Amino acid sequence: MISNVSSLSANQLALLATTFSAFLVDACTEFVVGSEDDTVVVGRTMDIFGNLGSRLVTHPKDASMGSILSDGSMGMEWAVRNPFVGIDAFGLPITTDGLNTLGLACSVLMLGESVYQRIPAEADARAQSINQLNFCDWALSNFDNVSQVNQSLHNGEVIVTLISVADFKNSLPSVSRILAVSDVVDIPSDIPLTSHYSLHDKDGSSLVIEYTAAGFKTYDNTIGVMTNDPTYDYQEKTLKEYLSLRNPNPVPVFDSLKPRDHPVVTTSQGLDVNMAGLPGDLSPNSRFLRTAVNLNTLIYPTTAELAVDAAKHIINAIEMFAGSVYQDPIKFGDTPDELWVTEWATIRDITNGVYSFRTYTNSEWKHIDLDDLDFTKGAPSVSVAVDIPDQRFDAVSMMST
């Protein structure tokens, strides 16, 4: 292994380093479920090592937004055209998961092999540039649907550049005239948090956006699933190996053997083998395959409620609990904060504008109807920490003779 490393080029080593450090920070799964009444529901997990300190935050009409660049200067500045609600991280003004009032959903999911753009020398280029952590803020606040974002990206209207979380944090005091800055939570280390982006809209259009060594790419996400490394096209290609996994469950008899005296199988009980071979581990590719196959197997929901229920169960099939994934040489304690867990999960009913979330320590789903939020011009931005303590629902009081 050591001797192999010495033969790698500097570029390969840099890529390895990025991929490895990124792997320690963040993993996620995101998917879309439709229904016969044309509801579009997006489910998502935020799998993370450490504490994101996430809050759900409103961004009302005309609120000022801006994106800090890696040298500490302010890049693009704009006002919110389409109000939105989003979940932040580290107490920073960044949206990792959000939904706007027109039903555009955007998610940030780790892609360690990301390579972002350079800011060109032209004088006005900085005013067109954002950092990679603000991508969803830019998309949700400016656009009505997936196709509009896609066009803007292909027209080169935004330059997406790299900033580390630590540089972002250190630059905040100098730019606080633009951004509302709250208490910044401890950030594990000075690592670039690099991602690809997933967009969905009410028409059921889904797009993946990636910046890698191969350049800027968009993919029409026809599978409706995204996880982490490697890139989306790889994940999609591997899916064909699993096309045979489907219902109905096979009849549990080895027909070819026909051993009359020794029937191989006499009962179908406990033989639900139709998904045998589906990877059960938590690697990005396995989460992608499992989610895609589960969506394919799902009895297509007829209503929004059933689509939301389905999303809950598909999330359950890919979540991480304390101890399910961890990696040396980090020294672990025994609290969930120090291990990889599904820190929070969201379900966005983008058709009806309902945002639902739950956390590792409180798995009851909480719901926010976007219609109940004040997004009018001049309204304050309001927020709530997503880790709402468990209310411990008491069923005794509901019991009767």
Ligand X SMILES: *[C@@H]1O[C@H](CO)[C@@H](O)[C@H](O)[C@H]1NC(C)=O
Q: Which is nearer to ligand X, 197 or 357 (CB)?
A: 197
Pairing type for strands 340-349 and 40-49 reads antiparallel
Shortest Å distance, C-beta 151 to ligand X: 7
CA atoms within 13 A on the CB side of 233: 8
Instruction: Say how far apart CA 188 and CA 314 lie, in whole Å.
Output: 30
Shortest Å distance, C-beta 364 to ligand X: 35
CA dist 40 → 275, 302, 308, 336 (Å) = 26, 12, 9, 32
Residue selected from 23, 34, 61, 144 as contacting ligand X according to rule CB under 6 A = 144
Residues 201-230 that bind ligand X (CB under 6 A): 203, 205, 207, 218, 220
Q: Which is nearer to ligand X, 148 or 324 (CB)?
A: 148
Residue selected from 147, 274, 283, 285 as contacting ligand X according to rule CB under 6 A = 147
Q: Which is nearer to ligand X, 100 or 356 (CB)?
A: 100
Instruction: Say how far apart CA 200 and CA 204 lie, in whole Å.
Output: 6
**Residues contacting 110, CB < 8 A, separation 6+:** 22, 25, 26, 27, 28, 193, 194, 195, 228, 229
Residue for token pair 């690592």: 191
Query: Which segment (21-29, 143-151, 335-343, 363-371) binds ligand X by CB under 6 A?
Result: 143-151
Q: Which is nearer to ligand X, 171 or 198 (CB)?
A: 198
198 near ligand X, rule: CB under 6 A: no
Residue selected from 154, 246, 313, 367 as contacting ligand X according to rule CB under 6 A = 154
Q: Which is nearer to ligand X, 38 or 241 (CB)?
A: 38
Residue selected from 68, 109, 146, 370 as contacting ligand X according to rule CB under 6 A = 146
Query: Which segment (123-131, 142-150, 278-286, 354-362) binds ligand X by CB under 6 A?
Result: 142-150
Q: Which is nearer to ligand X, 149 or 245 (CB)?
A: 149
Q: Which is nearer to ligand X, 154 or 313 (CB)?
A: 154
Q: Which is nearer to ligand X, 62 or 144 (CB)?
A: 144
Shortest Å distance, C-beta 218 to ligand X: 5
Instruction: Say how far apart CA 397 and CA 96 lie, in whole Å.
Output: 39
**Residues contacting 400, CB < 8 A, separation 6+:** none
37 near ligand X, rule: CB under 6 A: no
Shortest Å distance, C-beta 150 to ligand X: 4
Query: Which segment (123-131, 183-191, 200-208, 234-242) binds ligand X by CB under 6 A?
Result: 200-208
101 near ligand X, rule: CB under 6 A: no
Q: Which is nearer to ligand X, 155 or 397 (CB)?
A: 155
The token pair that represents 341 in the structure block: 């867990």
Query: Which segment (74-82, 147-155, 156-164, 245-253) binds ligand X by CB under 6 A?
Result: 147-155
Do 242 and 278 contact (CB within 8 A), yes or no?
A: yes
Shortest Å distance, C-beta 350 to ligand X: 13
Q: Which is nearer to ligand X, 116 or 143 (CB)?
A: 143
233 near ligand X, rule: CB under 6 A: no
21 near ligand X, rule: CB under 6 A: no
Residue selected from 21, 101, 117, 150 as contacting ligand X according to rule CB under 6 A = 150
Contact residues for ligand X (CB under 6 A)?
144-148, 150, 154, 203, 205, 207, 218, 220
